[in-house]
């Protein structure tokens, strides 16, 4: 199945685009998707197991199972608000 | 009221979105872009959001805060895009029965925003730029 991934801020700059489609096997989870993305973009982040992922605008764990049409986003460390 | 916007924000307008004035205290926090950060003279900040999720998470935080006994209402506005020194990036306005619960709610809201709301800021100075908080990520 095909999953569209949105990239923001640091990750968007490293990938060079804000959205990209990735082909993953049916029944894949977030770990499987991260593996596929890292294969294409090894410089995305030094520690893929710590990557924060949102599916349909909710934070999910890496064993979360993906389905066709999910809105997936890779979330760099957030820094909004004010110090 | 929750808003992620590219437009300038007026804290008085954010206060005016609070439910009618039957509370004892209104606290409005305004976050602004500082000139000096970690020894660097800041030129400007570039805020980027995952807009739909950012608004959803801000709403979630506002709903949590509104559950508190003494809190009557809260509004959060976050600006994105290019912001120059002195401009307002965040406005949090809280209506509460007493001052202490209002101050607490305001502080907790800002901490929560920094934890869970997908908004990032790039700090730009003369010799370089950095996504704040993303060093080593």
How would residue A33 be classed by pLDDT, with cut points 50, 70 and 90? very high
Instruction: Flag whether B19 is in a domain.
Output: yes
Q: What is the CATH number of the domain that holds B38?
A: 3.90.1170.40
* pLDDT computed for residue B95 by the predictor: 97
Query: For B68-92, how does the pLDDT look when each residue is reduced to its tens digit (9 = 90+)?
Result: 999 999 999 999 999 999 999 999 9
Total structural domains within chain B: 1
What sign for the dihedral angle of Cα B118, B49, B38, A11?
A: positive
Q: Which of residues 14-33 of A touch B (CB under 8 A)?
A: none
Model ipTM value: 0.91
Segment B34-58 mean pLDDT: 94
Does B130 reach chain A within 8 Å, measured CB to CB? no
Higher pLDDT, B135 or B11: B11
* pLDDT computed for residue B48 by the predictor: 97
Q: To 10 degrees, what angle do helices B99-116 and B51-66 make?
A: 150
How would residue A80 be classed by pLDDT, with cut points 50, 70 and 90? low
Does A77 reach chain B within 8 Å, measured CB to CB? yes
Alpha-carbon distance A36 to nearest alpha carbon in chain B (angstroms): 19
Of the candidates B126, B122, B125, which has an alpha carbon nearest to the alpha carbon of residue B135?
B122
- Mean pLDDT for all residues in chain A: 93
pLDDT at A81 over 80: no
* Alpha-carbon distances of A68 from A17, A72, B9, B29, B49, rounded to whole Å: 21, 11, 39, 42, 25
Q: Is A11 in a helix, a strand, or coil?
A: helix
Of the candidates A3, A1, A21, A9, which has an alpha carbon nearest to the alpha carbon of residue A78?
A9
Of the candidates A69, A41, A24, A9, which has an alpha carbon nearest to the alpha carbon of residue B117?
A9
Q: Do the chains contact at B137 and A10, CB–CB below 8 Å?
A: yes
Q: Do the chains contact at B117 and A78, CB–CB below 8 Å?
A: yes
Does A53 reach chain B within 8 Å, measured CB to CB? no
Which residue segment(s) compose the domain that B73 sits in?
A: 2-126
In chain A, where the domains are located: 2-75
pLDDT at A83 over 90: no
Q: Do the chains contact at B119 and A80, CB–CB below 8 Å?
A: yes
Does A81 reach chain B within 8 Å, measured CB to CB? yes
Indicate the fold that domain A2-75 takes in CATH.
Ubiquitin-like (UB roll) (3.10.20)
* pLDDT computed for residue B21 by the predictor: 74
Contacts of B137 in chain A (CB under 8 A): 10, 45-47, 76-77
């Amino acid at each position: 199945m095909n999953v569209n991934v949105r990239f923001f801020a640091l990750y968007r700059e490293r990938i060079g685009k804000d959205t990209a489609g990735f082909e993953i096997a049916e029944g894949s989870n977030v770990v499987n998707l991260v593996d596929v993305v890292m294969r294409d973009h090894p410089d995305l982040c030094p520690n893929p197991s710590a990557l924060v992922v949102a599916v349909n605008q909710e934070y999910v764990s890496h064993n979360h199972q993906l389905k066709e049409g999910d809105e997936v986003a890779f979330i760099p460390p957030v820094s909004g608000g004010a110090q | 009221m929750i808003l992620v916007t590219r437009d300038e924000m007026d804290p008085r307008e954010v206060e005016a979105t609070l439910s009618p004035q039957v509370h004892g205290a209104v606290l409005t926090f305004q976050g602004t872009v500082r000139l000096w950060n970690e020894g660097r003279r800041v030129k400007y900040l570039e805020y980027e959001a995952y807009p739909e999720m950012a608004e959803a998470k801000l709403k979630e935080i506002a709903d949590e805060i509104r559950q508190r006994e003494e809190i009557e209402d809260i509004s959060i506005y976050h600006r994105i895009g290019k912001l120059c020194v002195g401009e307002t990036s965040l406005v949090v306005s809280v209506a509460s029965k007493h001052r202490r619960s209002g101050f607490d709610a305001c502080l907790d809201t800002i901490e929560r925003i920094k934890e869970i709301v997908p908004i990032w800021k790039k700090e730009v100075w003369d010799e370089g730029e950095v996504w704040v908080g993303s060093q080593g990520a």
